[in-house]
Chains A and B, each alone.
Chain A
Amino acid sequence: MQTMPPALEVNDLTVAYRDKPVLWDIDLQVPTGVLMAVVGPNGAGKTTLIKSVMGLMQPAAGSVQVFGEPAGRQQVRRIGYVPQRTSVDWDFPTSVRDVVAMGRYNRGGLWRRTDRRDAERVARALATVDMEDLADRQISELSGGQQQRVFLARALVQDADLYLMDEPFQGVDAVTEQSMVAVLRRLQEQGRTVLAVHHDLRTAPAYFDWVALLNVRLIASGPMATVFSECNLRGTFGGSAPEWANPPATTAA
């Protein structure tokens, strides 16, 4: 049997803003079917990594492969993206249901109508993130946590194989966070791969089974149990900070 290619393979990826490196020579493998957290301090290049995978940044060097193929227009369609919620204009005149339906905009015929199958998928995704009551709500009226759940629902209807999430739990209350983690687990059970920027070092080991520690360069990556160590965290966040001395019972700055 042929071995399955990793969901994501990044080789020698360097991204720079002029002469200031944002990512230095990253080699990262994300096996298919894992939940991987990307952890690192502010300015570590976490968002840049995600944007590079999607081809939104021009790397100075290196390559990105998605499911064994060079990342390009075709492969990017297998990616579901959950942006930081501050990245869009929430005053846009549209409803929750409509934003989720955008996840299926690459389907549909000449006049691009949303058919009944799409509508059912959207309704189901909204139910999955406990937002069905707010389906017809104006998006400007949502709280931060609700905005984040709308983005998660939108990613679900994309039927992607690889999900890239930029701080999916930002501004989400504890109860919602738990139900979102349950959604991630379900994605994993369906054989999908999740790569998520995550800030809370306390919850990272509980929510994710793999981790990449990033601070401009890749400090370490692999299964949570072996990689999420005091030594590696010191290497990522700087050894001088005493609050990193005792992971995973520490908090992110």
Chain B
Amino acid sequence: MSSLEFEILVTAMTVSAACAVPGAYLVLRQMSMVADAISHTVLLGIVLAFLVVPLYGHPLMVFGASMMGVVTVLGIDLLKRTGLVREDAAIGITFPALFSLGVLLISLLARDAHLDEHMVFQGDLVYSVFQRLELAGHGYGPMTLWKMAGIFLLNGVLALRFHRELKVATFDPVLAATLGISPSLVHFGLVLMTSVTAVGAFDSVGSILVIGFMVVPPVTARLLTDSLARYLGLSVLLGCVSSLGGFWIARTVNGSVGGSISLVMGAMFVAVLLASPRRGLIADWRRRRRQRVEFAVRMLVIHLFQHRALGQRTEENHAGHLEAHLGWSAEFSRRITELAEARGLIRRVDAHWLGLTSVGERQAEQALAG
């Protein structure tokens, strides 16, 4: 791997890590679509800020551009508060207009700047690494890397310092208020953090891919853990791992780095959705199947118990009649009968008739007693 490739990889991992921090809280607060709006409208912020401070990536310019994210969310909240427009529609109204204004301004005013339309949609991690940080004649590596490392550090420190505020304002805003924590301050603090991150990541992943970077790793992490601390850590880690995988794919097929990372994030989500040990679809399917079998065994025991007064050899107790009486397939009847027998709950009176053992009788009595 060349040093340039290594820089691209480290930059990609830093972008993922920085995005995962606000993303984790956005997902918990059901604000994923707000991230979508912010990541688009900061383009207008970037263009306007660029006109005032024509230094791309300058902290002042990043902060100025980020205010557009705050303005967007204020606009969405105002629209929502009229009671005439619901939140999802309010998002759909607000951001395309502001985003389009940004795109229009670029083509009118900043034709010569490196903000072209390709950059706007998906950024370019490779290109972003060519912008070098130079101080007093010395080169210090890619500017984007420094910028995103700074943003990751800032996000991390803020998330640690305000972990209680974020947690309680998310879980129970009313309690937060009684504790002297302002839920709306936390809300807009998170919006500002999201905006700064989206502006910072703009040249490397643009306004569409950045949503994936913010949302997919946390959603995946949530399927793997129920602890908030582990969820946050895992969100950052999964973002970094996806970057590693995505970088490798992009290098192999000579394609877009940001796009490949997004693809890996999506694939990882699907894999976890299927295979997560506790919450995954496969585990869920297995659990249901096991529950069905367990319930069938209990049902068989109770069925035999209820009909024990009829004597040992009635139709109800006939091994071959379970299909008719309990609505089971022949195969399922055989399986359940064998399982109940193996557990010592039932015994075969002879080749055809079933009876309960004393253990089975006790279990049936307990089950019926509730």
Q: Tell me what chain B mostly uses at the interface: helix, strand, loop, or mixed.
A: helix
Q: Does A3 contact B (CB under 8 A)?
A: no
When A105-B164, A112-B163 are in contact, do A92 and B171 touch as well, CB less than 8 Å? Answer: yes
Q: Does A234 contact B (CB under 8 A)?
A: no
User: Which of A73-81, A180-188, A213-221 lines the interface with chain B?
Assistant: A73-81
- The A-B contact count (CB < 8 A) is 74
Closest CB of chain B to A112's CB: distance in Å? 5
Chain B residues near A87 (CB-CB < 8 A): 172, 174
Interface size counted on chain B using CB atoms at 8 A: 24
CB neighbors of B among A49-98 (8 A): 51, 54-56, 73, 76-77, 79-81, 83, 87-89, 92-95, 98
What's the Cα separation between A103 and B181 when bound, in Å? 12
Scoring A99, A108, A140 by chain B CB atoms within 10 A of each residue's CB, the highest score goes to A99
Nearest chain A residue, comparing its CB with the CB of B163: A112
Chain A residues near B299 (CB-CB < 8 A): none
Which of B161, B172, B180, B227 touches A93 (beta carbons < 8 Å)? B227
Q: Does B308 contact A (CB under 8 A)?
A: no
Nearest 4 CB-CB pairs, A to B? Answer: A106-B179, A112-B164, A105-B164, A138-B226
Chain B interfacial positions (CB closer than 8 Å to A): 28, 160-161, 163-165, 167-168, 170-172, 174-175, 177-181, 222, 225-228, 231
16 interchain pairs, CB-CB under 8 A: A51-B174, A76-B177, A77-B179, A77-B180, A83-B174, A83-B175, A92-B28, A93-B28, A95-B226, A95-B227, A102-B167, A106-B180, A110-B161, A111-B161, A112-B164, A140-B226
Please name 10 further chain A to chain B contacts, defined as beta carbons within 8 Å, in addition to the given A77-B179, A98-B228, A106-B180, sorted by A numbering. Answer: A51-B174, A54-B174, A56-B177, A87-B174, A94-B167, A94-B227, A102-B164, A102-B171, A105-B164, A105-B168
Chain A interfacial positions (CB closer than 8 Å to B): 51, 54-56, 73, 76-77, 79-81, 83, 87-89, 92-95, 98-99, 102-103, 105-106, 108, 110-112, 138, 140, 154, 158
